[in-house]
Amino acid sequence: MFKSKTKNLFKVKLSLKVLGFCEVLELKKKSRDCQKAQELVLRDILSISKDTEYGKKYHFQEILNFSNERSLGDYYEELVPVNQYEDIRPYIEKHKSGQENILFPGKPKFYDTTTSSANEIKWIPITEKYYNDVYTRMSPTWLYSFFAINRHIFEGAILFNLPKSTEGVLPDGTPYGSLAAISQSESPSFIKAMFSSTPEVFLIEDYKARYYAIMRIGIEQNVHIIASGSPSALSQMINNADEFLDEYIKDIEHGTLSELVHIPEDTRAIIQSYLKPNPKRALVLSKLKKKYGRLLPKHYWPNLQVLNVWKSGNSAVQLKKIKGAFPETCLFTEFGFFMPECRPGIILDPNSDSTVIFPHKNYFEFVREKDLDLLKPKFFRLHELRIGQRYSIFVTTYSGLYRYNMNDLVEVTGFYEQTPKVSFVKKTNGIVSILGENLNENQFINAVGQVEKEFSKKLEFFVGFADVEKSLYYFYFEFVEQNIEESFLNRFVSRVDFVLKSNNIEYAEMRRSNRLAAPKGHLLKRHAFEVFKSRAIDKGLYDNKFKLSFLMQDEVHHEIFKKIAKRFFLKI
């Protein structure tokens, strides 16, 4: 069993209160005048990067030298273009090859890897400054906010469920992988003392083995806080505990780590060094199993205080499925709105789902939802946002992202001092995400086009829909040749699935971990698009403009396609 987490509890609480209080105090001060804070952070970012390749190309020094007749933000908007990832990929590739001073001074500390719409890995650079000023300093602040829930909250362990921390190292020595796992592993020692397991757990490649190690260690302890992000990952952990409960009990009794799961020997040795026989806990679990049959978190973690997960967007559906598995007294708190490219803010009130924007850590611009399709939309500054309005968010960071389109739609829910609070609504720009896979419409179109050529079967029309409740995608196809067999359709869909997994690492991860089920395919009747268009217009879904996405999360549109699918293939 891991060493007691409460031996230095007074020191832990004091450190959290001091560090967290100082960060909250700074945030409160900066939030009183977010317009001023935003200008200062933009000026600082431009000053730091003015002599880089990107800074010289887009005249950072000239922007800084302009008169005060207009704001710094006005000149910045005028001279620096809006960027998608593909616009800055060439600069990042130079950094990856070992070059310095391209997007920012020096080289990155780390790359967080995700997938772009161009079916290639996105390498999101994280500079030492951004890492230290945002990620390192926000961990104590995040934990400090939990004191508002219960003063005894840190008298139990904190269980994390994180992706694999380090995937590899580039030739220039820069590591890449999961920023969340890296920041956890590099947390201050007084914070690490509260973690249920050693960071080496998150080096395990195999999903089942990783979940086994997390739960084998965690189920032995008195867990008070779980931080998971995705509710679907928690569902997998619960299922893992159900499948391997007898093995857990045996392991806990003897202080071992089962050989049933594949864990690299070096990682196994590190984890094993922390384990000790605990027959008392094993007996408790055996009695609980005898009493309840299937054990759930509310049985083996009855003192659980907080479950910190994403609750907004599609996560709300996933959370609803598992909520009953946890103690009734457990508080479900919002994980917060952030992603690899940027941490825009933090949840300060555990009873609120709204993220307080950092006016002093990043520079923000916003476009109203209704203006997203305009060629030249109006950009709003942080201090110009209004409650109840929805905006797409563009960020400028200390890690070399300039006017970067996050493709995220947020809604302003209130204010912290004079700074907006927001909640995540959905992805934009043709991106659909059931569980965080961020599947892009172009990825789907390209995958279908590739398989169409491979199978030499021409399509008249196709469309895909996300089903959040069932955690899968439905793909509809109208082939030129109408006498398509069901077996062929299944092979076609399976191949599209394979291509998507090859081109989107998040999609591949969700499919490999079985959080996302295999897609289902259905054939459409002839002239499906024209039939759909006619019915959609009849329903008043379109007026004088008709624009159809090829990949959607839209039940109204989906219902129409269900009705024009060939009935003998319709298994929805």
What pLDDT, in 10s, does the model give residues 106-155?
999 999 887 655 557 889 999 999 999 988 888 788 888 888 787 788 88
Between 233 and 83, whose confidence is greater? Answer: 83
Structure tokens belonging to residue 354: 């709204």
Q: What is the mean pLDDT of residues 379-385?
A: 97
pLDDT mean over 206-216: 89
Q: Which residues of 448-464 are buried (b: 16+ CB within 10 A; e: fewer)?
A: bebbbeeeebebebbbb
**Which has more pLDDT, 309 or 102?**
102
Mean of pLDDT values over 304-315: 85
Q: Which single residue is written with the structure tokens 């991860």?
A: 509
pLDDT beyond 90 at 336: no
Q: How far is CA 20 from CA 26, 32, 179, 339, 565, in A?
A: 10, 19, 21, 22, 56
| pLDDT score, position 568 | 45
Q: What is the pLDDT of residue 195?
A: 84
> Contacts by 78-85 with C-beta closer than 8 Å and gap 24+?
80/402, 80/403, 81/403, 82/394, 82/403, 82/405, 83/401, 83/402, 83/403, 83/404, 83/405, 84/117, 84/404, 84/405, 85/116, 85/117, 85/118, 85/122, 85/404
First to last CA, the chain: 47
- Whether the pLDDT of residue 261 is over 60: the answer is yes
pLDDT at 243 > cutoff 50 = yes
Task: Give the model's confidence band at 301: pLDDT under 50 very low, under 70 low, under 90 confident, else very high.
Answer: very high
Query: Do the Cβ atoms of 244 and 256 come closer than 8 Å?
Result: no
pTM, entire model: 0.81
Question: Which residues are paired to 357 by β-bridges?
Answer: 345
Task: Note the pLDDT tens digit of each residue in 520-547.
Answer: 999 998 888 888 877 877 766 654 445 6
Q: What is the pLDDT of residues 410-437, one digit of tens each?
A: 999 999 999 999 998 888 878 888 888 8
In the chain, pLDDT over 70 holds for what percent of residues? 94
pLDDT at 376 over 50: yes
Where are any strands of DSSP class E within 417-568?
419-427, 431-432, 439-440, 459-467, 472-479, 520-523, 551-552
> Which tens digits make up the pLDDT trace of 153-176?
888 888 988 766 667 888 888 988
Average pLDDT along the chain: 88
13-45 CB burial, b ≥16 within 10 A, e <16: bebbeebbeebbeebeebbebbbebbbbbbbeb
Residue whose token pair is 């996933």: 318
What is the per-residue pLDDT across 50-66, written as a single tens digit (0 to 9) for each?
A: 999 999 999 999 999 98
Residue 2 pLDDT:
42
| Tokens read off for 233 | 């990952």
Q: Residue 448 pLDDT > 50, yes or no?
A: yes
* pLDDT given for residue 369 in this prediction: 92
- In contact, 475 and 522? CB cutoff 8 Å: yes
* 449 contacts: CB under 8 Å, gap ≥ 6: none
What is the pLDDT, as a whole number, of residue 507?
Answer: 93
Please state the domain extents for the chain: 12-127+337-427, 151-334, 431-569
Which tens digits make up the pLDDT trace of 64-77? 998 566 789 999 99
User: How much is the pLDDT for 570?
Assistant: 42
Q: What is the mean pLDDT of residues 189-214?
A: 83
493-512 pLDDT, tens digit each: 999 999 999 999 889 988 98
